A and B are shown apart, each in its own frame.
Chain A
Amino acid sequence: DAKTTQPNSMESNEEEPVHLPCNHSTISGTDYIHWYRQLPSQGPEYVIHGLTSNVNNRMASLAIAEDRKSSTLILHRATLRDAAVYYCILRDVGYGGATNKLIFGTGTLLAVQP
């Protein structure tokens, strides 16, 4: 799987937007971009995924650069409950039998201040 680079930590204030960046300069044309997060003392939790176009769901938005070498997870209004480690993960589309496993990096630790 292609490598991703994320800042070790970020801080935000409650009710403000948060932009979490991820660089994946070696991404291949068949890699999906997935985001998971891990709240304190919990298992990882799916957030969002995309391939080329920007994506929105009830949790967040995913903005993907035109060259796909970077992406940004956007939390529109951070809450205290959003304090977590956020992981950007690339997954090969692999029609022929790509792995299902998730390969986690160190992620970005997001702190949300009241």
Chain B
Amino acid sequence: EPEVTQTPSHQVTQMGQEVILRCVPISNHLYFYWYRQILGQKVEFLVSFYNNEISEKSEIFDDQFSVERPDGSNFTLKIRSTKLEDSAMYFCASSEKKGIGGTDTQYFGPGTRLTVL
């Protein structure tokens, strides 16, 4: 069964450094998302991406964050200057289509654990 993959599984970085989290969505999917989950807290939406542009972003997704689909398979999340509070599990997700009536299913990857020291 097709699945969303993410690399690395764990990333440790120093505060102020740039990190890039990578995702390979399911191949025929058109919508891509990033979510994050701080340890012990809810899963939070960061950004959605469609047709090579951001379609929606949350308040968390400030100027320090960016997303890119550099080729036909990868979808990346970049954090320019990491802060301690960016430490979290980051999940990539993809869906085939928007789905009339909110019926699209989002498929999540296993996540990248980001630790900022």
Contact = CB atoms under 8 A, between A and B. Distances in A.
B107 A105 contact: no
B111 to A, nearest CB: 5
Interface string A56-94: 000000000000000000000000000000010001111
A94 B104 CA distance: 12
Interface residues of B, number: 28
A16 B95 CA distance: 33
A100 B104 contact: yes
B33 A46 contact: no
Contact of B45 (A31, A34, A46, A103): A103
A77 to B, nearest CB: 22
B56 A100 contact: yes
Interface in A27-62: 30-32, 34, 38, 42-46, 49, 51
Nearest to A45: B108
B45 A43 contact: no
Interface string A19-33: 000000000001110
Given A43-B111, A46-B105, A100 B91 contact: no
25 contacts: A30-B101, A31-B102, A32-B101, A32-B103, A38-B43, A42-B110, A42-B111, A43-B4, A45-B108, A51-B101, A92-B102, A93-B101, A93-B102, A94-B101, A94-B102, A95-B101, A100-B48, A100-B55, A100-B56, A100-B106, A101-B58, A102-B35, A104-B42, A104-B43, A104-B44
Interface of B: 4, 31, 33, 35, 42-45, 48, 55-56, 58, 91, 93, 95, 98, 100-111
